[in-house]
Structure 1
Amino acid sequence: MVASTATTRTRIVRIGNSQGIRIPKPILEQLGLSGEVELEIQADQLIIRSVQAPRHSWADQFQQMAEFEDDTLLDENSPSLSDWDEDEWTW
């Protein structure tokens, strides 16, 4: 994503007992923002970022582990699969 230096003005509007801002659709699309977001205040600035689901990148990390053959059991003495594991368990 390339940072943009263009600015857009918007108004703070009343929303029920609160106040909010309307973010233009092109900005939301450019940033990939939707649903729940996280707000942070940093030195007089409001930072808005996507909320990332817990474990969202685990699949990619597991794939990388497999590519580097770093996905073996750490316990060399672990028991092998039992008959129940082989016959009854759905993998």
Structure 2
Amino acid sequence: MKTKIIRIGNSQGVRIPKPLIEESGITKEIEMILRDNEIILRPADMTRKDWEASFQKMAEQGDDVLLDQKEIEKPSDWDETEWTW
């Protein structure tokens, strides 16, 4: 489907036909992504959808620890030379 870019104040935009909006599930907010010279529009509620359940599952499986915990806790050269304990 082709459409024209229209002027909206100092910006530009496109009109999205109602059937496309209804079919896509877009309601009030969208997420806009630029990927490989393509603009992707999708419902904003898809962003981080089900993250809470995924984090809960990770916690139950013990898979919610930092992978670099030992590196983070290891003192650096700066810690050893600059701090007075």
The TM-score, its normalising length taken from structure 2, stands at 0.53
**Which segments of 5 or more consecutive residues in structure 2 lack a partner in the other structure?**
61-85
Tell me which residue corresponds to 1:40.
33
The question of 1:19 aligning with 2:26 is answered no
More relative contact order, 1 or 2 (CA 8 Å, 6+ apart): 2
Return the alpha-carbon distance in structure 1 between the equivalents of residues 3 and 45 of structure 2. Answer: 26
Matches within 5 A, 1:1-91: 8-52=1-45, 57=50, 61=53
Aligned residues: 56
1:49 Cα deviation (Å)? 0.9
Q: Unpaired segments of 5 or more residues in structure 1?
A: 1-7, 71-91
Question: In 2, Cα distance between the equivalents of 1:40 and 1:54?
Answer: 11
Q: Percent identity?
A: 40
Aligned to 1:82: none
Cα–Cα, structure 1 residues 51 and 16, in superposed 2: closer, same or farther, change >3 Å?
same
Please report the TM-score for the alignment, with normalisation by the length of structure 1: 0.50
**Structure 1 residue 54, shift from structure 2 partner:** 7.7
Higher-helix-fraction structure: 2
